[in-house]
Chain A
């Protein structure tokens, strides 16, 4: 009956597919860019890619709107109006480069610390840090200090790696997955894929998060915990499990420092490990009853035996743990109220963990040999796995909370076993394999080592002879001794205050510090434009590089316009934050799949140009000629150590070497042919128990991940922490200032603890306020995107049902939300699936008028808002004459999620716009077109 039209069911899809790496967020998926007539027509995931295996998130698919965004900067700019006005004149690159060199070269030669070079969402940190190191400034870091340093450092100090880039659950075998405080963005596709796999098997997912959205929405059980009490909850699980003996004693005795002997006598050695002449920690060997180096072949460490030496008792770490965690202070009944989880529920969760870990243990028939020479015929798996992210780390107790979570995993014996948590190369990597921080000032010469590292004790702090901070952000000082990622969030306020010293030039890359990337946004805007009495800017020069007309652009004096991600070279390197999987090492590149249609340059190539113009050491051959002409040249030809460069694949003359090998001039082409990435698989049998597995260690050495095998024990008890505590107790020559002594004693416990975050000055502010980033949008990267902004063009404050009723609020009403620091007036929306004392909103949807090529009446600029206005980088005064940082006292991590507010219903503002409002910036790129009907092909 039917006369259907004749459809062409096989229309041509594209002229060509170019495979590169996504940069719509930090996940770094492989993408197939379909080209038509030389233009980007369609973007999909690359099926062969180790990260995303073909899938792609909303941001990734919207890349086409990003590379064509009207907010792209078009040409270098020099500021002509006052800072913050957005008034610029376009200049040529020659002028831009010579201006920058004019400012920087003098600093390099005379006072390199007067350059503060900080990068935000930088994915080339091994290169940018190399540049800063050779410039000679101690003032370099990326954004980890306000992102997730607690998670990274907590993991590395405990077990030589953390979540995300460091490792992942064994998605194929795990039977119970527990997710803590995961904002919906990080590691976005792999987590979604993993949850999908688990769900496909019908395994249980438990979500611990005050907000039941995203991953927590699909969790089989949702624990709507009180923010900041995750550590308390975890330690209670540890209490219950230890008390019931549901811990893996064999695992603990073999692979952790639970049996390591600790000095118990008061004095300068108290709490330190008993070591042999080679410095190796000692354990009691159950066979001989004698103290023995932990790694001696055949040793069977005893978890229980104590040891007397010269009248000093040494007790195994496990004794200390039993004492601490069996205490009733950690009983579910003792913590239930503070956590907002019933004791019954805590016990039920502990019991389920115990059941799956021990009653559903799995065995893989894989033989492996441990570092003590013992061969095991099977791999035993305890199929419980965990993942956590910023929700637990962005608290002032986040470092210890992250440690507690790792200790829980380790007690269960689930780390690096089938079904548990698995490291991704180059992790596992013990603390000893990481550098210590470097911050000396040496005009004209490079730093002696990398800026960022992991202090082993007070001796590694970056303090000058007067005990003052060497770095502008005061990282690695007694204020935050283990600030392993620096403190980008303190740079501008410290520079504005001239404390610890004044700087000359602030140089930033991809960091929207005058908007969503700063606490105290308004204050930061003022600091960036503050003037001295003689009318000069307090921060004399600001250079900024970004691809887009972000809010930060308006505050810079010189703009170096970057390319979009499809117009550039990049490398996602094993030297940096790679894209490895638990079964393989992997790295990747970006390459220009299209050429810029504007006068812009990749930032890394611009850095090389600057380095060449200044003849920076490290960038210059002995004959004075530059080593590299641009970033692509660097990627291929730079060698960190002989045979080891930014890219591990296709090395050697013929491109047949991986990990180590001489430079291959054709390397980038080989990557492009291979889909833009390289994967080196871990051999069968080397794929679990990596920190102790001889086969893995040998493979890692071959790959150039280590120079020699580095087997180590998991540090349930952290000796570096104890060393800081000892200093606070008065031992050693490097002593903390008096006002910090007690805090260091209290917080830097070598065993994970939980403490209440500092709520001084918060009286009357009783509601927790949080932010998350929507999965379809990532920071401000997405809002100028015509497709994505339709999904999230404004953000309400989500308020739990109970608070809605209490305050007589209904959807669409307005509320005044205040903290000790500030006040905002915003629209509200009810959410029932939310901790009853927590409000939240999507982060960074709100935009300043004039930014991102949006029209001034765009909802992002009228209805959207930032919680940042309520958060200060300092805590409210507590009357001791000091202002304490709003951060973790151990790492300096910005404590975004400790925010406490009060809310009250209010009339809509007169203009129905969220408050506060700021004067519009003059857009340096105009605004976008009215309508879009985007089709590249005919």
Chain B
């Protein structure tokens, strides 16, 4: 059914820390590997060794330069995958019911056997989270590793999305954003987690933690200056200081 559930029992999602992501693409390829081998059709690649290689990926890492009013430009790495929106437009536009949002945990999925590959869900998604697989003709998207997070064949510690498990910098967090006491919700509260394109009204479940303020070290110089008061102006004086200090040791 492509009508959205009134509410979901939990709101499982990701919290992505833009202050920590170094842009290594580990999540991108881990996702490719897991989802090629698991849920639904493999993520295919066209012209894999040729002039225009292009494949299906469920997670991609962009990078942006931000030029603040003062100070040097900043570079921010920006992973992006399905945000599992509460008001997911991709679900309601689907004519076949292939797209749906799970009542249990809010994960937005595509039931590939019902997908006609019309692409309308991808059109309706502001985030570019859906890609039509060119080999299979069905819409692919982040499943939040629904086949991992409850998988009893995996050790409990591994029941997290593959992108989260693999992220070397720990810039990706997974949990229930509907529970204000969950670690991810606390993180969002502490760090001012934000929505992408809030004006779209999609109410994304995934949140982004903004980068901390940068290039502020010179602002502290007045406080820090006393630390650098010379012990002596002359090398001779320095050795005198040295003797005195050594006495105290």
Contact = CB atoms under 8 A, between A and B. Distances in A.
> Are chains A and B touching in the complex at the 8 Å CB cutoff?
yes
A532 interface: no
Which 7 pairs show the lowest CB-CB distances between chains A and B?
A: A928-B49, A351-B224, A832-B73, A192-B168, A196-B170, A196-B169, A775-B24
B214 A832 contact: no
15 contacts: A2-B1, A34-B37, A41-B37, A42-B38, A45-B166, A57-B166, A199-B170, A218-B21, A221-B217, A348-B217, A348-B218, A348-B220, A349-B217, A930-B48, A931-B46
A385 B75 CA distance: 24
A790 B30 contact: no
B214 A57 contact: no
Interface stretch (A7-15, A107-115, A505-513, A736-744): A7-15
Contact of B22 (A192, A345, A789): A192
A907 to B, nearest CB: 22
Interface residues of B, number: 94
Contacts of A927: 49-50
A189 interface: yes
Given A833-B72, A933-B135, A222 B215 contact: yes
Interface in A242-284: 242-246, 249-250, 253
Contacts of B171: 196
A784 B49 CA distance: 7
B201 to A, nearest CB: 22
Interface in A1-30: 1-5, 7-13
A170 interface: no
A58 B224 contact: no
B243 interface: yes
B45 A787 contact: yes
Interface in B64-114: 65, 67, 72-77, 100, 102-103, 109, 111
B194 interface: no
A317 to B, nearest CB: 13
Given A4-B103, A206-B217, A935-B37, A303 B51 contact: no
B62 to A, nearest CB: 12
Contact of A9 (B20, B24, B151, B214): B151
A859 B225 CA distance: 53
Contact of A832 (B65, B216, B220): B65
B231 interface: yes
Given A11-B151, A303-B242, A832-B65, A931 B217 contact: no
B53 to A, nearest CB: 5
Nearest to A790: B53
A858 B75 contact: no
Interface in A307-366: 318-319, 322-323, 326, 342, 344-345, 347-352, 354-355, 359
Interface string B226-247: 0111110001001101110110
Contacts of A193: 168-170
A457 B171 CA distance: 48
A932 interface: yes
A663 interface: no
Contacts of B216: 220-221
A189 B17 contact: no
A790 to B, nearest CB: 5
A222 B33 contact: no
Contacts of B22: 184, 192, 195, 214-215, 217-218, 775
B182 interface: no
Contact of A1 (B5, B49, B73, B111): B5
A132 interface: no
Nearest to B215: A221
Contact of B246 (A215, A242, A286, A862): A286
Contacts of A323: 235
A3 B48 contact: no
A243 B239 CA distance: 11
Contacts of B158: 47
B37 A303 contact: no
A311 to B, nearest CB: 22
Interface of A: 1-5, 7-13, 34, 36, 41-45, 47, 52, 54-62, 64, 70, 184, 188-189, 192-193, 195-197, 199-200, 202, 204, 206, 212-222, 224, 240, 242-246, 249-250, 253, 286, 302-304, 318-319, 322-323, 326, 342, 344-345, 347-352, 354-355, 359, 775-776, 784, 786-791, 793, 801, 831-833, 853-855, 857-859, 862, 927-937
A217 B23 contact: yes
Contacts of A789: 49, 53
Given A11-B147, A213-B23, A217-B75, 20 more contacts: A4-B100, A7-B147, A55-B165, A61-B32, A61-B166, A200-B20, A217-B23, A245-B231, A249-B249, A344-B218, A351-B225, A352-B224, A354-B227, A787-B29, A832-B65, A855-B51, A858-B50, A858-B51, A931-B135, A933-B135
B51 A42 contact: no
Nearest to B218: A348
A213 B75 contact: yes
A604 B145 CA distance: 40
Contact of A192 (B34, B46, B169): B169
A933 B19 contact: no
A793 B228 contact: no
A854 B49 contact: yes
B124 interface: no
A196 B20 contact: yes
B181 interface: no
B228 A304 contact: no
Nearest to B242: A304
Contacts of B37: 34, 36, 41-42, 934-937
Contacts of A54: 165-166
B53 A793 contact: yes
A250 B235 CA distance: 20
Contact of B50 (A9, A47, A197, A857): A857
B23 A214 contact: yes
A55 B48 CA distance: 26
Given A58-B29, A354-B228, A832-B73, A10 B49 contact: no
A188 B217 contact: no
Contacts of B67: 832
Contacts of B74: 212, 217, 222, 833
A354 B223 CA distance: 13
B217 A352 contact: yes
Contacts of B142: none
Contacts of A212: 72-75
Interface in B103-159: 103, 109, 111, 135-136, 146-147, 150-154, 157-158
B151 to A, nearest CB: 5
B20 A56 contact: no
A933 B17 CA distance: 32
B42 interface: yes
A216 B23 CA distance: 11
Contact of A344 (B46, B57, B221, B245): B221
Given A11-B38, A221-B214, A244 B229 contact: yes
A244 B168 CA distance: 39
A44 B166 contact: yes
A217 B33 CA distance: 27
A217 B147 contact: no
Most buried by B among A9, A12, A43, A322: A9
B167 interface: yes
B49 A929 contact: yes
A323 to B, nearest CB: 6
Nearest to B149: A9
Given A319-B239, A833-B65, A345 B218 contact: yes
Contacts of A350: 228
Nearest to A224: B72
A57 B20 contact: no
B85 to A, nearest CB: 17
Most buried by A among B51, B54, B103: B51
Contact of A56 (B26, B147, B214): B26
Contacts of B57: 790
Contact of A199 (B19, B75, B152, B214): B19
